[in-house]
Amino acid sequence: MENLNQIIEGLQSEMVETLTRWIRVPSVKGDPQPGAPFGADVRRALDMALADAKGMGFDVRNFDGYAGDVRMGPQGVNPLAILAHLDVVPAGDGWQTEPFGAEIRDGRMYGRGTNDDKGPAVAALYAMYALKKAGVPLKREVRLILGCDEESGWGCMHYYTAHCDMPKVGFSPDASFPVINTEKGLLQLELRGGYDPDGMVREIAVGERGNVVPGPASATLTGDAATAAKAEAAAREHGYSLQATCHEDGTLTLFVTGLTGHAAFPEAAKNALGQLLVVLKELGVKGSLATLADRVGTEYDGLSLGIRCQDEISGPLTCNLGILRYNAKDGLYATLDIRHPILSDHKAITRSVQAALQPDIQVTVDTQKDPHHVSPHSKLVCDLLDAYHEVTGLPKQAIAIGGGTYARVLEEGVAFGSLFPDEEELAHQANEYMSLDSLMANLKIFAHAIQKLQD
Residues noted as catalytic: 87, 150
Contact between residue 70 and residue 191 where contact means Cβ atoms under 8 Å apart: no
Residue 97, CB half-sphere, CA atoms under 13 Å: how many?
A: 18
| Whole-angstrom distance, CA of residue 440 vs CA of residue 444 | 6
| Whole-angstrom distance, CA of residue 172 vs CA of residue 166 | 14
Residue 448 neighbours by CB under 8 Å, 6+ apart? 4, 387, 390, 391
Q: Which residues pair with 244 in a beta bridge?
A: 254
Hey, how many other C-beta atoms are within 10 angstroms of the C-beta on 255? 15
Cis peptide leading into residue 418 (ω within 30°): yes
| Whole-angstrom distance, CA of residue 431 vs CA of residue 428 | 9
Lay out the sheet containing 216-222: strands in order across. 241-246, 251-257, 216-222, 201-206, 318-327, 331-340, 185-193, 361-369
Helices (H), 24-103: 40-55
Return the ∠ at Cα 271 (arms to 317 and 363), rounded to 5°.
60
Hey, how many other C-beta atoms are within 10 angstroms of the C-beta on 107? 10
Which one-letter DSSP state was computed for residue 121? H
Task: Give the dihedral sign, CA 9/12/13/18.
Answer: positive
Cis peptide leading into residue 167 (ω within 30°): no
Residue 84: φ, ψ to 5°? -135, 170
Residue 225: φ, ψ to 5°? -60, -35
Biggest CA-to-CA distance, the chain: 75
Nearest to 66 by CA among 186, 154, 171: 154
| Whole-angstrom distance, CA of residue 146 vs CA of residue 68 | 5
| Whole-angstrom distance, CA of residue 419 vs CA of residue 394 | 13
Contact between residue 300 and residue 319 where contact means Cβ atoms under 8 Å apart: yes
Contact between residue 418 and residue 173 where contact means Cβ atoms under 8 Å apart: yes
Q: At how many degrees (to 10) do helices 118-134 and 2-9 cross?
A: 130
